[in-house]
Amino acid sequence: MEPEEEGCPVDYLAPLTRTVEYIEKHLNEKITLKDLAKISGYSAYHLIRIFTAATGGTIGGYVRKRRLAVAAEALLNTERRVLDIALDSGFGSSEAFSRSFKSVCGLSPHAYRKRGVAHYVGFERPLDRISLCHRASGVTLQPRFVTLGEIWLAGIRERTAAPGTALPALWSRWNRLRAGVPCLAGGRSFGVCETPAEAACLEADGSVPYIEFVGAETSPFPELPEGVLAKTLTGGRYAVFTHTGAAASLAQTYDYIWGSWALTAGETLDDREDFEVYDSRFRGPECPDSQIDLYIPVRQSMEG
């Protein structure tokens, strides 16, 4: 008998796991809803609704995004013709493939290949039991929207090769610095990724540099101790997702936001920094009940 994932019963996970495993094995073949329903054990009617409820996207959208992700790898790692890659990706022509690819990546397949750099934002990574469980219980699939004014922070920053890799040590250093400083005690804590992946320049070894800032909310012009920096977060409209679980699984939440939600939400992402907020609901980096709010900058809606 299969073990039960924490918070996710086997009878919920197993059919969806079988479905996504089948999709992954047959990406370059015709995939029908009838086949998926048979694999899952659900009727087509129920599979459509259960898949959408569990993942935040449609089956057809997931298949399309996975095919485009595999196509992106082929463009960089093979010399196959774009037309051949397009046909294997389920598109009837290179023109249709190019339109779909550009809508996700912002570049045509030819331009993407010429640039020669992997670009993962917007490309759906394959779902597995862990990521399915996380989407079912670890992240709000539909965000709330808020409009904020400027937020003033005090904290420290560090350059790192990938987002998240420097955070444990950076938070530890910050907590030591803020200890005993009244204007930095209490209140909400913030984690900010200051370098968007799209704007970063590659290092000599091919890695992408990021700058992580961690700190606390403060007054506009506080007197700060040596080594502590002031920072202002720009106000505006944000989509707010709530991550539930250990901090180590934050990457799965971001995978969902950038690889699934951002492609189908109909929202226009803004160039402001995204950030995380740690308030009284955060009970430690390893606590399964901890909650962290993730603020993703989006353009003001026409209705607003």
Tell me the pLDDT tens digit for each residue of 206-216. Answer: 445 678 899 99
| Residue 289 and residue 148 in one domain | yes
Instruction: Indicate the residue among 88, 118, 135 that finishes a domain.
Output: 135
State both tokens at 285.
């980096």
Average pLDDT over residues 240-246: 92
Residue 162 has pLDDT above 70, yes or no: no
| Residue 35 and residue 117 in one domain | yes
Q: How far apart are CA 82 and CA 102, in angstroms?
A: 13
- Determine, yes or no, domain membership for 21: yes
Residue 165 has pLDDT above 70, yes or no: no
Q: How far apart are CA 270 and CA 296, in angstroms?
A: 8
- Would you say how long the chain is, in residues? 304
Q: Which residue, 269, 258, 257, is CA-closest to 301?
A: 269
Contact 15, 2 (CB under 8 A): no
Q: How far apart are CA 7 and CA 56, in angstroms?
A: 18
| Residue 226 and residue 125 in one domain | no
Q: What is the pLDDT of residue 8?
A: 54
Q: What is the pLDDT of residue 161?
A: 57
| Residue 229 and residue 287 in one domain | yes
Average pLDDT over residues 27-51: 86
- Determine, yes or no, domain membership for 240: yes
Count of other CB atoms within 10 angstroms of residue 159: 12
Average pLDDT over residues 221-234: 86
Count up the domains in the chain and report the number: 2
Average pLDDT over residues 88-106: 87
Instruction: Indicate the residue among 135, 166, 182 that finishes a domain.
Output: 135
- Determine, yes or no, domain membership for 303: no
Residue 254 has pLDDT above 90, yes or no: no
- Determine, yes or no, domain membership for 3: no
- Determine, yes or no, domain membership for 302: no
pLDDT tier, 74 (very low <50, low <70, confident <90, very high otherwise):
very high
pLDDT per residue over 188-201, tens digit each? 999 998 865 444 44
Residue 52 has pLDDT above 90, yes or no: no
- Tell me the CATH number at 120: 1.10.10.60
Q: Which of 122-131, 152-161, 162-171, 229-238 is predicted most confidently?
A: 229-238
Domain of residue 174, residue span: 144-297
| Residue 69 and residue 169 in one domain | no
| Residue 149 and residue 290 in one domain | yes
pLDDT per residue over 11-38, tens digit each? 557 888 899 999 999 988 888 989 999 9
Q: What is the pLDDT of residue 119?
A: 63
Q: What percent of the chain has pLDDT over 90?
A: 31
The CA-based diameter of the chain, rounded to the nearest angstrom, is 65
Q: How far apart are CA 102 and CA 125, in angstroms?
A: 18
Instruction: Indicate the residue among 135, 156, 186 that finishes a domain.
Output: 135
